[in-house]
Structure formats: structure tokens, C-alpha cells
Structure 1
């Protein structure tokens, strides 16, 4: 791939991490950055990943320097050895690793960590990821550290807290013919449901969150851990429906009308971006969003001129203007909301709705931590109602589904519930970001289980870059346009990657009955415009196509491999339209089963 092609696709010329496929008989795994991904037997995915992870005090993932890697591979076995060097705040951690796989279904990954001096970390050790496809709701046997065994299931709805603790081994049945046991040694492990953050996995990780963090690995001491996987022919009768994955044409099949339309599409405008948004306001008429989401945070110093920018923008472009307000909550709530109502009235802005979220709730409260002081949500909502009578009122979280799942609002005081998503909380490589689309139906089902069928449901902003970091003190700068976690400025927002991801997002939430969706900001690093503001980025053109279809009846298209392709169909006045996004960086062969309405077309990134 040339630099120009990479720039167009990913918004950066930085290449993705290289990898190689390891094979031992029917066992295979992808070796990438020293870790294993897509551990499979006979083409059936057993584990999504086994990784040795070191995180800093802001839960940022430290990138290791890999040294002395050696790979030996034969027909029946493979062995990988290397050293990984992690540096944090001037301290160094050296990890010696060994990976062995054999054709009899055995895989081991051991790590011996040595801190040259005291090394601070929030987490240091193995993460094991089980996939969610055909695993959510399926049987699992948990062996605990005391030797007792528990027969249960992987959570069907997204579990807000750890579903399993004190884990020594997990046994599940990826297919009717396969039993897989993953054993973890060297520390106490527990599991979290990573679907909370839109990761397509259940994560079993080292060191319980109830223990203090950050913590110190003492200088001069070793820490040894090991993960062992044994895959056997299943004789117990327990099974799941997973079948082997095969390459080949992706089939698109036309199904029945969906009986609904897309959510109303909006764009976010913050005080910092209000002036650039105003300068490019004419572009809104091309994109035609139904709503504009305005943001105001009184705990952050903003030039008060942004209220005038908001009003002028509304005068130029008529739409539904919704305000999300961060509640300071440091004094009298009635007085705080009366002051907000005065600002809105003085600006002349006409609001369609108001969503509120306490400032302290933008920071996550992990398991085992004390909840921060916060006015009761009932008091916040009543004060908002009093200052804005008759206006639709929303609650929930301005951060992610995780926080909504852990702190559920009193629904009888709200007209709608909202939350955001970001795909780069835990991993930022291209595959992991696209895999988050797989989780969206799980999130929307779980959200509906919380808020019920009659409360309106909104999602967004749902950009690749993080709007905030609930898990640390900041989002991370990205001056070199890299693929990194927890940055507010992801380069792929500027490439065709974001366009494809956004169409894939629309396809995965289309049938969820969502009222409004904010897929991007208007301008800025998470926006739809070029830096100069004079043209749309690819994601802007994709959202323009989605916005044009907002009121058109949706038509169901069944895609044989939703990991590779997203498709949305619409009934138009002249026939039927289809919007297709290639979710890979490769050319795809497409087969249109049962219909010739598509005709020939070029497969490309949108």
C-alpha cells in the first residue's frame, strides 16, 4: 500500500502492526506485537486474544519494545520466545516470554516479569479474551482458586460488574465437537464484560479491581504468570452453535421491509468548535442533519461568545437544537438551573430538549471503588424540570454505556436516556475498532432492558476518538497520528475507515428503535469537515448519505459475514437504494443471493 493509499484509508501513513500466522496442525493463532489473537482450531475461534498487558495510572496501555524474538515452527508445533521492555515514569520492566503450541490442541504462554526498580502500574499481566459471537449466553464452567467448580453461562445481557471472580480456569464449548479449557496461573484472575465499552469480548484479567491501584511492582523481584489452553473433542454434550469461518464471497440477500426508519441523525457542536462551525454553516445544508447537539460545561472556562455562535447558527440552519448540560452540582441546584435558563433565554436559542449529567459521573466508578459525592439524580432532574418546564428532559451518561449500566437513572423523571460510545478504550488497532460494531446489538438490547420499551433512547456522540476519558485524568495527545487508545484525535476519522465504520454502526443500530443518533461532531478532530472547513471528509459524505435516508423506510439486507460488510437498504420513490461499506482493507467478492436488483458494482470503501 502506498503512502497516499494509506492516508486516504486511515488518515495516517503509519502502517498497521505486522503479524504472522502460527500453525500447529489444526491449531492456529495470529502473532502480533508479541501477543496472540484469533486462537482457532479447525477454523473455529476459541479465544479472541491472549495478551500480556501493562497499564499506567491513567489506564493507558504501555507499548513494549520487543527484543530477541525467535519463532520456530514445524508441521506439528511452534515455539516463540522474546523479551518485552516496558518503561513508565523512568522505571523499566523486563518480561521474558515463551509461547508453545502443538497439534494436540495445547497452547501455553508464560511470562516472567522483572522490575529493575519500583514500577508503578494499574495492571500488569495477562488478559484473556473470549469472543462474544455464539458465546454470549452459552455454557461455561468456572474453576475458582479454591478448587470449587461452578456451572453457569456467559452473560446474555451486558453485566455491569464482574460476572466471575477468583478464577483459576474457564471451560467452554466453542462448537458441538470442541471443548476448550483455559487455565491461568500466577495470580488471581477475574472477568469483566467488555461489551460495556463496545469491545467484542469477555475479558479475564489479572489482579482483582477491589485491590488498590495504582500499585508498585517492587524493584528486584520477579512475577511469573502462565496461561494454558487445552482444546479437546467434546464428549459432554454441551455445545454452542459456532461453525468454522471460511473465506469466500460475501452474500447480500434482500429480506422483508423492516417497518421502521433510521434514527434521526445529528451532529455535535461544542463551545470550542462553535466559531469554526459557524464559519462552515453552509455545509449543514448539504449534509442536512435533523438535529444539532449543543454542549455546555460550566466547570470548564469557555468564552461566553459561544452562546451567540449557537444562536447565529440556529438562525442560519433550522433544525432541532438539543442541549447537553454538565451539572456542576456544587451548590443550590435550583439556582444552578435557573442560571442556565437565563443564559439560554438571553441567547435567544430555542431548545428542543435538555439532557443533563452530573460532572462527577463523567468519571467512572470501577468495582470496589467508592462512589463520589453527587446530588441525588432525582433532585437534579426535578430542578431541571422546574427551570425548563415543558421541555423534553434526558438523563443517562455523557460518557459510555459502562457508566449507564452501573448507575441507572430514575426513569419516571425522564423523557429519554442517552449515552455515548468509543471503540478505542482498550485497543486501537483497525481490527479491534471494526470488531466493536459486533457489540452494538448487545449494547442496545441491554440498554432497552434497563430503560424499557417506552422511554426514548438516544446514542452519541459515537466517534472513534474519545470525547472524554472516564478512566483517567485526560485523553491522550496524538501528535504523530498513531493508532493509540484513549485519544481524542484518531487519524482514522479523516480517512475512509471512519466512513465505513460509521455506516457499519448505522447498520448495527438500525433496528434498535433509537430516536436520535449523533455519529460525529460537525467540526474539529471528531468532525465531518476537513481542517480548512471547506469540504467533507469521507465520514461526512457517508453521514450525508445516511441523513438523506432518515425518513425512508428501511429494508432488511442479510449479510453473510457482517465482520466484512455492512449494508443498509431503503425504499425510495423510484425504487430501492442500498448503501454498502467494506469493513476490511481488502477487496471483497460480493454475491447477491436471491435477487438481481443490485447489479454489478464496484466494491470500495465509502
Structure 2
């Protein structure tokens, strides 16, 4: 279905530099410029180099189409738009976008710096939208020698496609019927793809690919809010050497054929979000933080902020073993500060000497450890034989805590580990005497754009529910949860994120915890104790995420009330507001957050008898991270027990009601 539209960009079309944006880089990241496109009943948004939120007749069709360049360690080269050329004609719109891709750690400082030798790759994207089709073509060229795992176009399908029946056409014309899965699938969803066909609300869609063979994976394994169709089939060997001048040419086209013209049923609504607080629906999971350094955080002189109610301090022990005593000592000091236990995750290919090392490092005080897990350094998953040996040796030493099995990596490893079985025969490798299972979360495995980070939140709930099922009903310990992946190739260091100390992270953490408050989740470990990936800054002061966790840790085990969102008709789309009602001994605490760069308003119907209707409004409104510029929040009571909460961009607040 690929068509060469380059001729439509005739000599009268002039290239222009990317639209200037003088805001600081962090502001540009939090609130990117969006260019809205519409032809016929097709609509889409151009955000940087990504064609996003492609809809037909108001119905979402594709989450995004974009080109990616990923090196031999699966690091994504950063794109920077150099210039854009546009042509409108009687048939539709064409956009030609010149993009430079910078090697990790050497990103160009904006479009004005693009095209320098810092960029390892360059590409030309041609976008064409007509009343019938949307097409994206990509021509890429290497500007430097490197090793790649993947280069080319990817198509992101929204998670709402789960359950959708699809016909997959292979290059030889074979048609195979399939379905986007409801549960997170550990293996490929579709393979050997030349095109995909499906129908929705009287419209037939045909999604065609050229330039390579494509396949589809379930990106929810990494908490992404999408399924992904990509080229370079996973069966091919990687990495591959790329020489300067090597090229890639691909295109993706989606065609719509409607029996009748869609009436654009899904229109944007500007009505405030509406929630009703009801009966208990769960409890606040116990919370933990991690320590990954044998040294105390900068500025920590033994005194620092405490998180009363914190369940544990998690520490990962990996080679070399010589640093284990110092790491355990640092974790124990942090645990003492909060009155917490230790959660020890050992990375070793065997249990030999592990029990002895723990006993020696803690002076025989194994009672300080609440739970322990053992993971193989190559698979990042539990080896059943080593697990059994460690349990036997620790039990002999008098250890009475929990034993965790699973993975220290992403949910995908837990999913594949259990699906594959210990012997590859499909049987579960989870040891029968494992007390619980575990996996970690990081929202930026594939995308660093803020909209994609926020879209991981509902997928976290699904991953947790799937983990409970995969573990045979065992409790699930989620974490560490970090903004960026902490597991990398040998020699790489876990990266911090400029978002860590921003109010965004508090709003995202609240939404994450609300998603993970499901039956079976026993604990969640967020971030580290100190910078750059922690809950405190270099001076030892809690950042907004740390302030939030301090308040939530004190609510350990308290009932969480259901916060049911009213369905606005027409649907309002993605609501950025999180409402997390906690019924503590002192009264109701309403945790609210806004995952949006715009002000958000929510009307919350409170439980009967809640003392909200006073002349001055609720008893107390506390803005999380106010001292660090964490935004504004306000709440006012109205008749019939309805509370109106107004939240500034990325703001998080706690509205407290006295009993």
C-alpha cells in the first residue's frame, strides 16, 4: 500500500526550521508543542517527530507512528527535528520532516544544534493525510558507524484494542486470524506481517507495511500503554554493524473504508471530572524505598527526614561481594531512621556463601530482614535450585522472614519466566515454598516523552493483577519502581531523570499507587533514599515525591475507599485527575493529583456524614511540594456533599477531613 508522494512536494514548497520554542528543556518536555492535523474525518497530532493520536471519525485508531533508532544496548537515540516543510492541496496535507538522532548521552541541545557530529543518524519522514489514508514514509541514513538492534518505523496500537479481532496478511498472501490479547502476552502477538485488517463501527481498516517484515509485541510487558508493531523480526540475530551511509527505507499506510460517513461521535468535553467516594475497596499497600550505594546520600549526616510507617528499605546485592557489607550497613542505617525492616535482593548464580555473608554483615541479626529474594545475574529471575539451597541455609540459621521468587527486572521477565517453565515444558518455575513473587517497574523503557510515561499508569494495574495470577495467588511485591530503568548492560550506570525532583513525579507516584492498590499487592518500593533517583535532594530535603510517600507511608494498611469516576457523555477522554481516598483513624484523607500541564477541576461526592460543608471549606488542604514550587491546589465545598477540587499543573494535594 506504499505510495511515493515525494512528487507532491514541488519546488514551491520551502523547508522551514522547526518552530522555535525558547522555554527551558524541562518545560518543553512537560508540555510539548502539539500541531493538530485534520483531513476529512481523520485527525492526528504531530508532537516532535511522532504522529500521535490518529483517529477516524473521532474513534482512536492508532496511538502513534514514529521512527526509532536503537543501539546494540537497546538505548533509543534521541530525535531532534531540524526542519519541516508543508504542502496543502486539494487531496490533503503533506509534511516533510528532517530529523537528527543523537547518540545516548550526546544529545544536541535543541533544533539549532541539530546536524552536528553529535548525531549518529538522520532521517526524513514524509507524512501524507488524505480523506481515505494516512501514510508515513521514512528514509534513514547513518552518519557514523555504530551497532544497532533496530532502525525503522514503529506503530503503536492503543491498549483499548485488547480483544480486537484482526486478520494478518503475510508477504506471501497467507491470511491468519488473531486477536489483541486481554491479559499481557509473553510471546509475540502477531508475526510475519505485510498488512493488518480489522473493522470497527462500520469502518474497515487496512494497515500496510513496506520495506521490511514486521511483527507485533505486547508492550504492556514493560508497562507501556500500547501494543507495538515493528520491523527487524526478533528471530534475526542482533546487534548488526551499521556503516556510515547505510540506509533504511520503510513506509506505513492505513486506509479506511466506511459504509457510511462517521458522525464524529467522540467529541472533546470540557466538563470537570466527577468522582463518587464509596465503600472500602482495598488498603494502602506497605511502602518501601531502596538504597543502591554503600555510601550515605550527599548531605546526610545521620539525621534526615523520617517516613514513619515505612515498611522496608530494599537493597540489591550483586557482584563484587566485597561491597555487600557496606551496602547492607547503609541500608540498615536508612532502615533505622524510619523504623523499617530490610528487604534484601541477592543477585548470584548460586546460593553458595550467601547466608554466611548476610549473617556476617548484620552481626547475626537476620531478624532485621523481612524478606529475601535470589536472582540469577543472567536471567534476572529466580533459579529454583539456588532458591531451595538458600532457603535451607537461611532456615538453618534461624531466618523466619519471607522468601521471594520472580524477577528483579520488568514484568516481561516474570511473564516469560513463568510461561516458559523451569524446563521449557510449560510448568511453572515458581518454587512451591515461595512466599511471594516480585517484579519491577520503569515507565521509560521505550519512550521518554511525558504523555507516554503517564499512559503506563493503568497498565501497572493490569500487570499487578496478572502477576497475582501468575504467582498462583501469592502476594506480589512490586519494585523497585524507578522513572528510568535501573538495569543496563555491563558497565552502564542507572540514570537519573530531571523529572525526579519535579512535582510531576509526585502526581505520577500517586496515580501509580492508586493503580497498584489491588488485591494481592503486598508492597510497593518507590525510588531510592537519596539523589539522583531518590525521594530527597542533595541537601537531604524531601522532594515532592518524598513528601507524598511520607504521608502515604503513615497510612499503611488503612482502608482505601472506592473513587468511582462518572462517565461523561460524550466521553471526555483521558482524565488526568487521580482521587485516592484513605480512611485513617483521624478522618478521611483525600489524596488528589493532576497529571497534566493544564489546570484540572474535579467534583468529588463525599461519603455521607463527611464534614465538608463549612463556611471556609474543608478542614485542611496541603499542597505536596509547595516549598519546591509544587503548584497550586484549592478545594471548596458545595451543597449535597460535593467537593470541588482545583489543581494546578502537575499539582498533588491532600484534603483532610476531621472525624
1:120 to 1:352, Cα distance in 2 relative to 1, 3 A: closer
Task: Tell me the distance in 2 between the aligned counterparts of 1:515 and 1:117.
Answer: 48
2:387 corresponds to which of 359, 381, 384: 381
1:497 to partner: Cα distance: 0.5
Counterpart for residue 125 of structure 1: 152
1:274 to 1:295, Cα distance in 2 relative to 1, 3 A: farther
Counterpart for residue 584 of structure 1: 596
SS at the partner of 1:494? Answer: coil
| 2:356 matches 1:324 | no
Counterpart for residue 19 of structure 1: 34
SS at the partner of 1:460? Answer: strand
Query: TM (normalized to structure 1)?
Result: 0.85
| 2:109 matches 1:97 | no
Q: CA offsets per residue over residues 310-347 of structure 1, 9 Å max, x none?
A: 44444554223221221243xxx343433333333446
SS at the partner of 2:526? Answer: strand
Q: CA offsets per residue over residues 566-603 of structure 1, 9 Å max, x none?
A: 11112234553311110111011323469743523331
Task: Tell me the distance in 1 between the aligned counterparts of 2:487 and 2:646.
Answer: 38
1:462 to partner: Cα distance: 0.9
Pairwise CA RMSD of aligned residues? 3.1
1:163 corresponds to which of 160, 166, 189: 189
Task: Tell me the distance in 2 between the aligned counterparts of 1:344 and 1:255.
Answer: 46
| 2:411 matches 1:401 | yes
1:512 to partner: Cα distance: 3.7
1:134-173 equivalent positions in 2, closer than 5 A: 135-173=161-199
1:539 to 1:341, Cα distance in 2 relative to 1, 3 A: same
| 2:580 matches 1:568 | yes
2:361 corresponds to which of 343, 352, 361: 343
Task: Tell me the distance in 2 between the aligned counterparts of 1:563 and 1:357.
Answer: 38
Task: Tell me the distance in 2 between the aligned counterparts of 1:398 and 1:446.
Answer: 16
SS at the partner of 1:361? Answer: coil
* Contact 2:311-2:340 within 8 A present in 1 as well: yes
Higher relative contact order (CA 8 A, sep 6+): 1
SS at the partner of 1:60? Answer: coil
Task: Tell me the distance in 1 between the aligned counterparts of 2:642 and 2:303.
Answer: 36
The more displaced of 342-351 and 34-43 is 342-351
SS at the partner of 1:461? Answer: strand
1:309 to 1:223, Cα distance in 2 relative to 1, 3 A: closer
Task: Tell me the distance in 1 between the aligned counterparts of 2:184 and 2:87.
Answer: 40
1:414-429 equivalent positions in 2, closer than 5 A: 414-429=434-449
Rg larger in structure: 2
Counterpart for residue 482 of structure 2: 463
Task: Tell me the distance in 2 between the aligned counterparts of 1:380 and 1:106.
Answer: 56
The more displaced of 335-344 and 590-599 is 590-599
* Contact 1:96-1:113 within 8 A present in 2 as well: yes
1:279 to partner: Cα distance: 3.4
Task: Tell me the distance in 1 between the aligned counterparts of 2:156 and 2:538.
Answer: 38
Task: Tell me the distance in 2 between the aligned counterparts of 1:593 and 1:179.
Answer: 42
1:234 to partner: Cα distance: 6.1
Q: CA offsets per residue over residues 112-165 of structure 1, 9 Å max, x none?
A: 3344676632111110000002x1122122112221112221011111121211
| 2:213 matches 1:191 | no
The more displaced of 39-48 and 73-82 is 73-82
Task: Tell me the distance in 2 between the aligned counterparts of 1:336 and 1:321.
Answer: 16
1:313 to 1:425, Cα distance in 2 relative to 1, 3 A: closer
| 2:564 matches 1:546 | no
Q: Which runs of 5+ in 2 are unaligned?
A: 1-20, 105-116, 419-428, 568-572, 608-639, 653-659
Total equivalences in the alignment: 562
Counterpart for residue 529 of structure 1: 536
The more displaced of 86-95 and 256-265 is 86-95
| 2:288 matches 1:252 | no
SS at the partner of 1:498? Answer: helix
1:280 to 1:296, Cα distance in 2 relative to 1, 3 A: same
SS at the partner of 1:501? Answer: helix
| 2:288 matches 1:269 | no
Task: Tell me the distance in 1 between the aligned counterparts of 2:143 and 2:357.
Answer: 55
Task: Tell me the distance in 1 between the aligned counterparts of 2:35 and 2:138.
Answer: 20
1:603 corresponds to which of 630, 647, 653: 647
Q: CA offsets per residue over residues 453-475 of structure 1, 9 Å max, x none?
A: 2x111101112132222xx4455
